[in-house]
Structure 1
Amino acid sequence: MSFGGARKIKFNVIRFLGFVVMPLISGALLGVLGAYYFYSGAINNIESERLTEVDIEYGHPITLDCFFTKIPPNTKFITNVDSIDTGMLASYDIAIDCGGHIVHSVLNVVDRTAPVGTPVPVNIYSAETIPEPSELVKDIFDMTAVTCTYDKGVPDIKEGGNFKVAVRLTDSCGNYSIIDVPFCVKNDTQAPTIIGTHDIDVMVGSESVSYRDGIIVTDDFCENPSLTIDNSAVDLNHVGNYPITFTATDDVGNSTSVTVKVHVISIDTAIMSDAETQAYVDEAYRMAQEIVDDIIYDYDTDVVKAMKIFYWVHRNISFILSTPQYDNWAVAAINTFTKRYSSCYGAWACCKAMLDVCGIDNICVVRTVTNNWDNYHYWCLVYLNGEWYHCDAQKYFNGAAPAGYFCFMMTDWEIDNAPTNHKFDEDAYPPRSTTSVQSYINVYQGSISSNFPYIDE
């Protein structure tokens, strides 16, 4: 009886272990395995979404999304990223807590931005040395050192012209940009032009001569070509004919020379000193100013002022073919203003004096002497309305022109077709206007039409 009871108890323990304990153990093991599997999966997800090395542009903010394709839950920086200066190119180890899982990524602050700069326009002659590329760009900015090179090699500028030259800016990270620099290359092979040279009469014993008076030098490119005067052969103390050479040179060395004669002559009148010569000039301008004050208003245009000047000379100065020798233009002007008669030289001198006091540019034009015309004639080139025009106040005789006729603001063609011979050395003077304004001019009344086509200054 007791044996049978013992077997029953043993049976119950086994059943207990089999039906109660083992399932619990198995469940626990399965839970552990499930938790491990879940944790491993989460870790794998974190690792798969994490970027082990990250490049950001300098100046870019450091945020979690820089390091993950998808930010895991409960993720935060361990490294104090606020202390990192992203304006400095460097690499950093960044520690990140992903919900208890610590990961590390390398952060590289890099430069992927090309340098920037501003082109410096170049004005240069074709004969000059081309500037270094670094001189052609200003205000260059980049986080690293920048080198400047010609993108397509050193340009050939010998033909001249307007074009752009590509300059490459390259930083130490290899980023580059192309800056197009405007070039204006002047192919200057033309020598300057010397205007106004002529033989000079000077009294023996004169202390000096103003050789530069009336000389104008022009050039197709150079604004201020130099002018040198070689008067080393001139002897003012002895009567004779001496050469004097004017040489004009531009910025690139093109030069031209003109040689004329200085005629040192004997004059019966007393020799004038420099002070006496200046006194004559001052007196000529004083007399001219008196007339200008009487006939010209402040509001008159230069064209109107010039018309009034030539109209006054034409009407008030009688023409005499042969007049006494004049020492210089100022003496001629004084004599003509006083006597009210003269040759063309005195009439020109009066016009010059009045134009000068009005501040109107003018040049003396001298007729070319030929076998048929062996005497000189003088008239003015006057700068009016932005161009040079011929003006001649001389009276004509022997029926050569109607009474009251004179030449004012004429082109070369018009002066060539005017009465008497106005042939001149065209290359010795600045370019003249080719635009006729005769339909706006009435020389007989000394007036300018209110519709005169003034240019905008």
Structure 2
Amino acid sequence: MKDGRSDRLSLRIGALILSLVFASCSAQRKEMEEESKDFTPPGILNVQRIQIQVGEEPDYHGEVRAYDIRDGDVPVEIDASAVNPDVPGYYTVVYRAQDKAGNIAERTATVEVTEYAVEGWNGTAADPAEVRALIEETCAELFPDGFDGLTELERARVIYDWITQNIRYRSDPDVLSVMYDDRFAEAVKAALSERCGNCYTYYAVSAALLSRAGFEVKRAWTVEPAAMPGQVRYHYWNLVLLNGVWMHFDTTPNFDGTILNRFMLTDEEIAAKHAQDWTYTVEEEDFNDLFDES
């Protein structure tokens, strides 16, 4: 006998009728099947920003891989149809991975196509005299009539606009080594000679030019969440004393080159652009090795 919820089996043993009821496992089985379904997409690892010179073939694969908690390694499909390696600019490459349950993961990376090759830092300390010469040459270009006749705000604006319009973002290991080694002079040289760098490079060249233009400058930095769990990312920018007030001066663009317009912001204004619990650290910087020729 069946009632939809249980199976009943009746047995006669002599004058005794013994009824055995077997609870149906269908409902429990259904719940277990629901719990065992895979709703988690695979993770796509080691996706990085790519930079090439015009005409070069990008290495989209690199160390990119996808891993699923149930299926293990899964294939990665790469869609680079939007990239034109023969025309300078910023492009997007798309990485996709699908596990056996049909869950799909997708990540993107920026591909920057540049007009000329970038050498990067080779580990050799920069010559302060050479860096000073680069700073003087740049300031002569920016201020052909000198600093007189311009307000502090006007001087700072000239520097901000020139850096954001002439220096490209780059975050490969050559540039990162300069940041992690805290090589200020080398970062300034990279910015002014190769016109590229990461946030530390933007901070350094901003500090050098602002200091040469007569500003008092401090270094500000914070720790930001990285793309992968367990990793951290440092971000550097400047505090500039403008008319007696310390203001935030951040020339670093977005990863795709978009200018973020963080020019002379108050604490409240820059905090509004970050997470609610955002904090930063301020440090003094010594520029004597660049500006003291003795």
* TM-score after normalising by structure 1: 0.30
Larger RCO (alpha carbons 8 Å, 6+ apart): 2
| TM-score, reference length from structure 2 | 0.45
Larger Rg: 1
